[in-house]
Structure 1
């Protein structure tokens, strides 16, 4: 497994030599991203991920959240189609998947699942049903509680054709590994990539299942703020929508996320900016690489 010294450092020049696809045509050419997440109490996580996907270049956005929050979210994000999902008495998205969600999942180019979800057992049921209907070429991003569900059901992705990107934080990596991560996060990222046959973006360390590895060094403490991870997973989804391969999307997203924070620091300090403000910097950061 590669050590930290064997990772390729992500720099603007590295990204320029690995240019993002530049789709021509209408919005469908830049992909349809479906974000599934939220609870009665956390629809904002889906808003952050969804708008970040648009800022990263996705052409069409669809959001699926609890029925009780769908109307408010549709007003907050007028660019998106928003559908409501059944919810439990505690306000979580229920594993009972309605037909209209399955129809969207079957047609989506990218599915981003996890932002704002909060019930692992219900998520497991939902994931099986949604992944069963997803197109074989559709990319899938797992974040937050979707990663927790995967850690409880490690065969969930087995024999599935869809390319997958996992975006864990260190705590989520611990659940996926089944042990405390070591200080060598490059090694841990590659172990996860190999175990789950997915691209992994872990705290600035990106690993592909074929053994390639990268490191992003621009991130600072301010990125550790509420909602920041939802923004990062949304950027990944948006880049996948416009045609990037999984490792490319993860590397560009890690850089865009980190440098967007750098751009905000002069105005708000190292730790004073909000995740919603990160979103507003994403398109400019990507465009100026």
Structure 2
């Protein structure tokens, strides 16, 4: 769920990433102004049009249009391409009663700022994918040591969290994945990461497993592209397209 009028491509990147790691069936819920074009550009996905405000933001109260999909989904990703915090707060409040009890919910981008306004979400399988700036919003404070901050966010929101290679679950484990290099700072890279995590959750991975492996695949794709193209200059779409190759490497028998 995402893709407001100014940035529909973010949702498409995330959706493609979910399919690239093996999610079986995908529905994109996008702003109505982008939905028709998205359905042509992305024939592998179903598309549902969501209502928009006069400024082009997605109306948070419009997600009833995708209620059936939400109730049946193994995983739901909210955030890529959203651009209005109050409407996203409305969206999250509307979302809670619509998702199934076993559904994993991944929040990214503006959905993280909206979560900070709510303080809690009440979904048992919750994954958060902040960058350092978004981590500060979730904490309500400047970051100190990033590993401590990621653990604090996990505990505060009762969620699995990934940020800059640190992965934490509430009350417990802290994992470290290499960051993959500066090229992963390219526009849209976070959408690729969030989509990969959601796709692995859709395949049946528990939140910590989906988050750790999605973070690893994102990193491995960045390192591979750095060797083949350059340290900087590869695109988020190339990260997405590299995910199946990196997944095949870790799934291959020894």
> TM-score range, shorter-chain basis?
over 0.9
Higher normalized contact order (CA 8 Å, seq sep 6+, divided by chain length): 1
Structure 1 match to 2:195 = 234
Structure 1 gap segments, 5+ residues each? 1-35
1:175-219 CA distances to partner (integer Å, 9 max, x unpaired)? Answer: 00000111x111111100000000000111000013101011151
What is the rounded CA distance, in whole Å, between the counterparts of 2:155 and 2:64 in structure 1? 34
| Aligned residue among 262, 265, 287 for 2:226 | 265
What is the rounded CA distance, in whole Å, between the counterparts of 1:200 and 1:76 in structure 2? 31
Q: Aligned residue pairs: how many?
A: 250
1:135-178 CA distances to partner (integer Å, 9 max, x unpaired)? Answer: 000000000000000111103x1xx2430000000000000000
- Coordinate RMSD, CA, aligned: 1.0
Asked if 2 retains the 8 angstrom alpha-carbon contact of 1:135 and 1:162, the reply is no
What is the rounded CA distance, in whole Å, between the counterparts of 1:57 and 1:131 in structure 2? 26
* CA shift for structure 1 position 132: 1.3
What is the rounded CA distance, in whole Å, between the counterparts of 1:105 and 1:161 in structure 2? 13
Structure 2 gap segments, 5+ residues each? none
TM-score, normalised on structure 1? Answer: 0.85
Residues 218, 181 of structure 1: CA spacing in aligned structure 2 closer, same or farther, 3 A cutoff? closer
User: Does 2:69 align with 1:71?
Assistant: no
1:103-134 CA distances to partner (integer Å, 9 max, x unpaired)? Answer: 22111111100001000000111111112111
Asked if 1 retains the 8 angstrom alpha-carbon contact of 2:85 and 2:111, the reply is yes
Structure 1 match to 2:110 = 145
* CA shift for structure 1 position 268: 2.1
Superposition map of 1:14-93 within 5 A: 36-93=1-58
* CA shift for structure 1 position 90: 1.0
User: Does 2:128 align with 1:166?
Assistant: yes
User: Does 2:217 align with 1:256?
Assistant: yes
What is the rounded CA distance, in whole Å, between the counterparts of 2:163 and 2:227 in structure 1? 26
Question: Runs ≥4 in structure 1, deviation > 4 angstroms?
Answer: none
